[in-house]
Amino acid sequence: MEFQQEIIQKNYIVSQLQEFYPYCIEDTDKSTPEQIVLRTNLQNEEEAENFKKHYSAISNTNWIVYNYNPNPQKFVFSKTWLCHHSKRHKRIAKRNADCKAKLSIVIKKITKATKKTDKYLKYDMPLVGEVKISLLHTHNTTSAETLRMLRVNDEVRQQFYQYFSDGMSPIEAIRFHENKFLLEDNFIGLANASLNPTHNQIYYLHECWRDTNLGSSINPFDKLKEKVPFYESIGTTVKFHDDHLWAVLLVTPLMKRNHPLSSSKEIIFIDSTASKQRYSSRAAFSPWHWRIEIYNQISGYLIRALLRTLGADPKRPMNKSEVAAMVLIGSQCN
């Protein structure tokens, strides 16, 4: 019975990999019940890494580097990975199943000597890639607990980055993404963290997205300075006061057009966005035809400092040239 299951598992792995690698075949002379040896036409490190990603998705596994020689003498490429449930680099006990499973990829050089000893190098399409895969794990690879420990794959990572770029918060992205699986009754995919990340993974992705697109929470002005030329190219004015305490003034073309209108003179609107609270700051929108003071722990000082930065007298009434603005008030973390 166990032997039949091994045959089924081998056949499944080969058939799935052949969808991506048509020239992938099993080396039956070297394969054993515990290990399958495959030959394929991998050419370089990038293709080897992609092969590992495809196999990880097929087998519901992740791998950590065990042995790698960046400049091998006898091979084009050689690298070995361990199952991510091995005891290597483990601090959390639940992730340590002491799994011995390995994945090894070697890309051989084609020479007269290697052709003599390796029949697969004599093919019209030389199968220079040799892949050794351990089939036996000390843990179940299909249980919900194991699936929730998988890493997020690259495609899903980019999907969530797009969600955040479209304006979704982490919790909105979580609900939207989960609903895709629920609509298809795909409960296995719902449990698989590589396809449906955990909440902690999603919040981490959001942190990465924020740092890349909005700047670091420690020094947000670096990213703002990068974007100032773009804002100016579309007619938006950006001024900021950069000190231990900081403030930003943003004036859009729409604000500039609306401010002189008589219908705008009696309008006062203030809104503070909760998304900035993690930095102890507020974003407030207001027509500045009226004198409006916006406060947090340090707002009075910042407004006066900002007005001086813009060349305005904080004590006199605003004139029509001081148009509607978005003010971001906060304290810079050191």
Take residue 237 and report the two structure tokens written for it: 């004015």
Helix (H, G, I), strand (E, B) or coil at 233: helix
266-318 pLDDT tens trace: 665 555 555 454 555 555 555 444 333 333 333 454 455 444 544 455 454 44
Confidence band for 334, pLDDT divided at 50, 70 and 90: very low
CA distance 137 to 86: 10
Q: What is the dihedral of CA 198, 202, 203, 208, to 10 degrees?
A: 140
150-208 pLDDT tens trace: 999 999 999 999 999 999 999 999 999 999 999 988 888 899 999 999 999 999 999 99
Q: What is the pTM of this model?
A: 0.68
pLDDT (average), residues 219-227: 77
pLDDT given at position 319: 43
Q: Does position 5 have pLDDT exceeding 80, yes or no?
A: no
Mean pLDDT, the chain, rounded, equals: 78
Query: Minimum mean pLDDT among 96-105, 109-118, 125-134, 293-302: which range?
Result: 293-302
**Cα dist. 90→37, 126, 150, 155, 201 in Å?**
28, 39, 15, 26, 18
pLDDT given at position 165: 92
Confidence band for 324, pLDDT divided at 50, 70 and 90: very low
pLDDT given at position 240: 75
Q: Does position 58 have pLDDT exceeding 80, yes or no?
A: yes
CB 272 within 8 Å of CB 282: yes
Confidence band for 137, pLDDT divided at 50, 70 and 90: confident
